[in-house]
Structure 1
Amino acid sequence: MRFLVYFSLLILIIGCKHSQKKLLAMNTKVVIAHRGASGYLPEHTMEAKAMAYAMKPDYLEQDLVLSKDDVPIVIHDIYLDDVTDVAEKFPNRKRPDGRFYVIDFTFDELQQLNVTERFDPKTGKQFYPNRFPKGKGSFKLHSLQQEIELIQGLNKSTGNSIGIYPEIKDPAFHHTNGKDIAKITLNILTEYGYKTKNDKCIFQCFDAKELERVRKELNSDLFLVQLIEFPEEANHLDYYAKYADGISPWYKQILDKKENDTWQFTPLVENAHKLGLKVHPYTFRADQLDEFSSFEEMLQVFLFEADVDGCFTDFPDKAVEFLATK
């Protein structure tokens, strides 16, 4: 009888440890809402961020570009004419290259623009035809400060602890125009309590020299992620590890080939992990599956077979639901 009791307790303990390990493994995989819930609403709008927040990802992403009066605007690129009606509102404000730049408008002027689903400014054609209809609704641009206050306010009212994941866009372009986007952004983050790796703020940039500057010259103790776009950049992991805590590659840089219905992977993730770098690939889209038969297959391949640490996705609800089943 005593043996049966001990045996039952042993099975229970083993089961609990297995459950704890499974839960721990799941919790180490983070979901980043890419430009908010951008699969459902126009990217980087407050509405897309509020919807994404309700889906309970780990982080919401903020791409940042400075306005003429040095306000960090949450927008994906330095241009305005592929997500707003700037060409209609301010037709004479384009530069010689025919583009309209965020940096040429004050924050008050930017507030006059309507934001829409991303489109090709040359043809007017919507990039993702099955998403929110272009030109519909009433959406506006907003500042980093406004978004932080939304997220922090919701964290307080809901009891959640969802983080922010800001990216400074094209710092070299800003420097050329006499602006230090890194310093301005870091000052704002500090003001709102984002100072260390424990503050649920991950800071990212494609420009390696600028991200290194953020760590070494501007003395930031935030969790830093080096975005990488081109395959050859995967050869610089040793350099990135000197200042960054993680990398964010295009997801196809992780795929090698498929043999007998099984994906083979490049050494990128393994090499990054050996250096202590987290890996958060971009961008997982349920309406752009490419090599995969389903979004669930895509998530399974990367999060568990390739063993990445998280993912950027336009559909954070689907990624959160997928991880909840693991």
Structure 2
Amino acid sequence: MFLIIVLCLYVVGRVQGVSRPLVIGHRGAAYLPELTLAAQSMGYAFGADIIEIDVCLTRDNQLIVIHDIYLDGVSNVAEMFPNRNRSNGYSYVIDFDLEELRRLTIRERFRPFNGTQIFPLRFPSNSVIAFQLATLNETIELLLGFNRATGQQRQLLIEIKKPEYHSKYNKSISSIVLETLNAYNLKEPSDPIILQTFHIEELIHIRRNLGSKLRLFALMTWNRINESSSDYDFYRSEEGIRNLSNVIQAITPNLEFVVNYDSNGTILGNTNLTKWAHQNGLAVYPFTFRRDSFPGRSFEQLIQYFLHTARVDGFITDHPDVVLEYLRREMAAKDVIFIEQNSSSSLVSSMLILLFNMIMISKIIV
């Protein structure tokens, strides 16, 4: 009986060595208004390895967790401050102090000016529940508190929003982010903090001029979107990837940069991006995998393709629970295959060695 127990433990130990891709909860999780502490907490509860957030600066240099540089798509700012919008109709984070922003109610994302909910089947944007904006400090406290309470090591992926935009107001958002992190002694690559931005030259600045040792990820999208002045066509080329590998640890590209699609959303094949990244020691975490908005017919087939064929290192997703459930089923299937494969000569040999050692030990004891 003792021998059987030992053998079972041995096989289980071998099986548990199988790892899975990382799951990054995009803005927390899709089931509550984005980036609120509630949505972040739900992402952690679902089991996301990393929670992705965005930060912008207020007029009084406080770091607010919000995706856009304006407030109109997720809050009641038009009701609370009807005369604070600019000539284009938008109310910008940088025009408000933190105390003012604390008065706002955060809602599920909607289209400014007409109120149409972007994702109709998500949490109702007209709910009376008063969600609020969070600061970066509060988000860090949530992360550290969760890790302490659970004994786990979840991480935070912080997107620094539009450094070039902030610099026009004489604000170095990256410096303020680093100062905030330093106050929590979060400085090392082993700490549960990662920084990313679309302005790739800012990542170079953070590494070389600001001297940060934290892990850095490079966001990539289409040049035509004008997310920053960075030339993504160059940075996703073989030369560009090779140059970036001296500064960053991973790329976080639009998922359409990883595979080629036809006009119907059918995947035609892989690009070279993942291959070049891996050749240069960089991980690949594409964005954004949304169950309620994706190219093709089956969300599960999309995940399957990126996992097995595109061979990405993880998924940035609005639905971490769905992706994790799929990956768990995949890992369970791999466990079965692992045991079946190792019932061949390799496992038999290992078991024979173990049996021989146990016999020898028993002789010594006798």
Q: Same fold (TM over 0.5)?
A: yes
How much has 1:178 moved relative to structure 2?
1.1
Q: Is 1:249 paired with 2:245?
A: no
Q: Which residue of 2 aligns with 1:114?
A: 105
d(CA) in 1 for partners of 2:191, 2:308: 27
Rounded Cα–Cα distance in structure 2 between residues aligned with 1:257 and 1:285: 17
In the alignment, structure 2 segments of 5+ residues that lack a partner are: 223-231, 332-366
Does structure 1 residue 63 correspond to structure 2 residue 54? yes
Q: Distance in 1 between matches of 2:243 and 2:116?
A: 41
Match 2:157 to one of 165, 183, 191: 165
Aligned length: 310
Deviations for 1:235-294, whole angstroms, at most 9, x for unmatched residues? 221232221111110001111258xx975100110011111111110000111132142x
C-alpha displacement of 1:321: 1.7
| Distance across 1 between alignment mates of 2:193 and 2:286 | 17
SS at match of 1:109: helix
CA displacement at 1:171 relative to structure 2: 0.4
Unaligned ranges ≥5, structure 1: none
The answer on 1:147 being equivalent to 2:147 is: no
Q: Which amino acid in the other structure matches residue 253 of structure 1? A: F
In the TM superposition, what whole-angstrom CA distance separates every residue of 1:281-321 from its partner, at most 9, and x where no partner exists?
Answer: 0000111132142x221211112221111111111111222
Q: What secondary structure, in the 3-state scheme, does the structure 2 residue paired with 1:237 have?
A: helix
Q: 2:304 corresponds to which letter in structure 1?
A: Q
CA contact (8 A) 2:259 2:267 kept: no
The sequence identity of aligned pairs, in percent, is 40
Partners of 2:185 and 2:23 in 1: CA distance: 22
**Normalised TM-score (structure 2):** 0.80
Tell me which amino acid in the other structure corresponds to 1:290: P
Once the two structures are superposed, residues 19-40 of structure 1 have per-residue CA deviations (whole angstroms, 9 ceiling, x without a partner) of 255x13x1xx111110001x21
Among 16, 19, 31, the residue aligned to 2:15: 19
Counterpart among 120, 124, 134 of residue 129 in structure 1: 120
Letter in 1 for 2:250: G
Asked if the contact 1:64/1:169 (under 8 Å) is kept, the reply is: yes
Question: 1:323: how far off?
Answer: 1.7
- The residue that corresponds to 1:272 in the other structure is 277
Q: Which runs of 4+ in 1 moved over 4 A?
A: 15-18
Contact kept, 8 Å, 1:81 with 1:99, in 2: the verdict is yes
Contact 1:163-1:200 within 8 A present in 2 as well: yes
**Distance in 2 between residues matched to 1:222 and 1:245, nearest whole Å:** 10
In the aligned structure 2, how far is the partner of 1:204 from the partner of 1:97? 29
SS of match in other structure, 1:166? strand
Q: Which residues in structure 2 correspond to 1:163-312 (within 5 Å)? A: 163-230=155-222, 232=233, 233-235=235-237, 236-257=240-261, 263-293=268-298, 295-312=299-316
Structure (1 or 2) with the larger CA radius of gyration: 2
Contact 2:105 2:130 in 1 (8 A): yes
